[in-house]
Structure 1
Amino acid sequence: MQAIQMIELNQQNLEEEGGYCLRSKPLSTGYQNKNNWLKDELAAGLKYIKLMENGKQAGFIEYTAAEYSSRVVHANDYMIIHCLWVNISGKGHGTRLIHKCIEDARQQNKCGVAVITNSDTSWTPSKDIFLKNGFTLIQEAPYGFELLVHPLKDGPLPFFPNNWEERLKTSDELTIFRTNQCPFVDVATENMLEGARKLGLEAKVIDIKNREELMALSPTPYGIFGVTYHGQLVTFHRLTVHSAIKKLKSLCN
C-alpha cells in the first residue's frame, strides 16, 4: 500500500527539506536564491507543500495570498497558485494538492483560488487538472496565458491588466525582468546573456523586488521572468543559448 504524506515547508525545516525543483543541485545559485526567497515568503504566509509517496518526493504545490503573489493579476482576497507539479499523472496527486490549497483558502475566508496557466508551454501548470477540480476559465491574455478561478464566495473576480503592449515599449534594448520565485531563473538569465554576448548585444537585467514593481513592469502574467527587445517579447521562460540566439536574430531582422 502506497504511503502518501504532505510536508509543509516552514522556517524550521526549510534547510533540511528544501524545495522540489532543482533539488539535484542544492549548491546552485538558482536553488540557493529560491530557498532565500522562500524564507521571506514563508514568513509572509506563502505555502509550499511537498507530496511524498513512500518517502520519495512525488510533487508539490506553492500558493500565496494575491497581495504577495508573483503572478501579474488583480485578485483581491484570492489565493494564487504559483506552481503545481507531480512526477506521474493519474495517481490523484495533483488533485490532492489542489484540494489542500482550496481548503486553506476556505479556512482563511478567501473569496477563492486563482491560477494562471498556458497551454503552449510546460512552464506553467496545465489547465486541464484545474478544470477537473471545479475551476473555470474566465480570461485570456497575450502569449497564450489563461486565468482560471475557483470562487468560494461572492466577490469581484480576478482579472488581468490590459496594458501588455505598453509594457513592451518601456525600453528598446534587450531587457531581462526577473524575480527569485523560480530556481531556474538564474540559468534562464545566464543563457540569455550568453546568447546576447555572442551576437554582440548589450543587455540590462532588472531584478523585480516587490509586488508593486511586478505589477508595473512584468511583460507577461507569468511575472517571474520575461525578456523584451525592440518592443517585442523574446521569452517568458528559460531558453537554451542556441534558442536564445535564434530568437534574438529573428527580432534583429
Structure 2
Amino acid sequence: MEHQFINLTAENLAVEHLCCIIRSKKPHPGVEAKRKWLTQRLSEGHVFRKLDAKGCVFIEYAPLETAWVPIIGENYLYIYCLWINGEYKGKGYGKMLMEFCLADAKVKGRSGVCMLGAKKQKTWLSDQAFVKKFGFETVDSTPGGYELLALSFDGTTPRFAENAKKEQISSDELTIYYDLQCPYVPQVIEKVGQYCEASAVPVSLIQVDTLQKSKALPCVFNNFAVFYKGKFETVNLLDIAYLARILKK
C-alpha cells in the first residue's frame, strides 16, 4: 500500500477519504460540501489523486479553463493543492504526485502546468520552493505580491486576469469571498461569522458558486480571499487571531 495511489472518480467519491480534514467517523460539513463540489468538477477533467491511506498525501488539479481562479491561459493545467503532511513527509510522495501531474499534462497534450504562489510563501498555498525544483518559474505577478508560477512545455504562458490585479472593492467592511473547494472553508466561515456577530463587526460573506464568478474576482483566489477597508488582505484562511490583527488596521 505504501506507493499505491488512487484517483477520485464518480464511483468512489462517496466512500474515499479526502485527506485534508480532521479524521472523524461522523459526517463533516466541510467534507460533504467538498464531495458535492467535486461531483460537479470531475466531469470537467478535475483530478484528485491521493495515497490509498487515511492521511494528507494528495494533489488536486484541473484544466485552467474550468479552474475556479481568475487566471487566463490556453491549454494549461492548474494545481490547486499539493499537500504532504505528518508522518508521510520525506518519503518522496510529493515528487511522485508532481511527476504524475506533469506526465498527465503531457499525455493530454497540455501546454504546461501552473499554480498560485507569492513572493513570500503563504500558509495556505503549496510549497513554491518545491515546485521550482521541477522548473516552475514566475510568469506574472500582482501588486500585492502574489505570483503565477508556471512550467511551460511549448513557450506559451498563462497570466492573471486584469481584474485579479485590481485588489480593491468599494465596500469598507470585512468582505470574504469563498468557495467550497476546500473542506476547511465552511468551519472557517462559521467561526468568522460568529466572531463578527459577537464583536458587532459588519461582515459580508460571499460564496463564489460559479466558474464565471471566480474568473471575475477582483483579486487572486485559490478558494478564499479577504478584503478589509476596501483593500485585499490575503488568500489565507483566517483563524481568530489573524482576523483580529486585520481588524486592527
TM above 0.5: yes
1:137 equivalent in alignment to 2:152: no
Deviates more, 1:165-174 or 1:114-123: 165-174
1:165 Cα deviation from its structure 2 partner:
6.1
2:21 alignment counterpart: 22
Tell me the TM-score normalized by structure 1: 0.88
DSSP-derived class of the 2:95 partner: helix
1:159 Cα deviation from its structure 2 partner:
0.9
Q: Map 1:37-116 to 2 at 5 A.
A: 37-52=37-52, 55=53, 57=55, 59-87=57-85, 88-116=88-116
1:18 Cα deviation from its structure 2 partner:
3.1
2:200 alignment counterpart: 200
Q: Rate the CA distance shift 1:159–1:76 in 2: closer, same or farther, 3 A.
A: same
1:164 Cα deviation from its structure 2 partner:
4.6
DSSP-derived class of the 1:125 partner: coil
Q: Which amino acid aligns with 1:44?
A: E
Residues 163 and 218 of structure 2 are in contact (CA less than 8 Å); yes or no, is this contact kept in structure 1? no
Q: Rate the CA distance shift 1:172–1:82 in 2: closer, same or farther, 3 A.
A: same
1:150 Cα deviation from its structure 2 partner:
1.3
Residues 121 and 128 of structure 2 are in contact (CA less than 8 Å); yes or no, is this contact kept in structure 1? no
Residues 195 and 245 of structure 1 are in contact (CA less than 8 Å); yes or no, is this contact kept in structure 2? no
Q: Which amino acid aligns with 1:110?
A: R
Q: Which runs of 5+ in 1 are unaligned?
A: none
Residues 163 and 217 of structure 2 are in contact (CA less than 8 Å); yes or no, is this contact kept in structure 1? no
Q: Which runs of 5+ in 2 are unaligned?
A: none
Q: Map 1:104-253 to 2 at 5 A.
A: 104-118=104-118, 119-154=120-155, 156-164=156-164, 166-219=166-219, 221-250=220-249
1:116 Cα deviation from its structure 2 partner:
1.2
1:5 alignment counterpart: 4
Identity of aligned residues (%): 29
Q: Rate the CA distance shift 1:31–1:107 in 2: closer, same or farther, 3 A.
A: same
Write out per-residue CA displacement over residues 154-191 of structure 1, whole angstroms, 9 at most, x where no aligned residue: 4x311113445644224233222111111111122122
DSSP-derived class of the 1:14 partner: coil
Q: Which amino acid aligns with 2:17?
A: G
Poorly superposed stretches of 4+, deviation over 6 Å = none
1:17 Cα deviation from its structure 2 partner:
0.8
1:61 Cα deviation from its structure 2 partner:
0.2
Q: Which amino acid aligns with 1:80?
A: Y
Q: How many Å separate the matches in 2 of 1:151 and 1:248?
A: 40
DSSP-derived class of the 2:150 partner: strand
Q: How many Å separate the matches in 2 of 1:166 and 1:222?
A: 13
Residues 124 and 235 of structure 2 are in contact (CA less than 8 Å); yes or no, is this contact kept in structure 1? no
Residues 77 and 112 of structure 1 are in contact (CA less than 8 Å); yes or no, is this contact kept in structure 2? yes
1:117 Cα deviation from its structure 2 partner:
2.0
Aligned residues: 245
Deviates more, 1:122-131 or 1:196-205: 196-205
DSSP-derived class of the 1:209 partner: coil
Q: Which amino acid aligns with 1:82?
A: Y
Q: How many Å separate the matches in 2 of 1:223 and 1:3?
A: 30
Residues 169 and 218 of structure 2 are in contact (CA less than 8 Å); yes or no, is this contact kept in structure 1? no
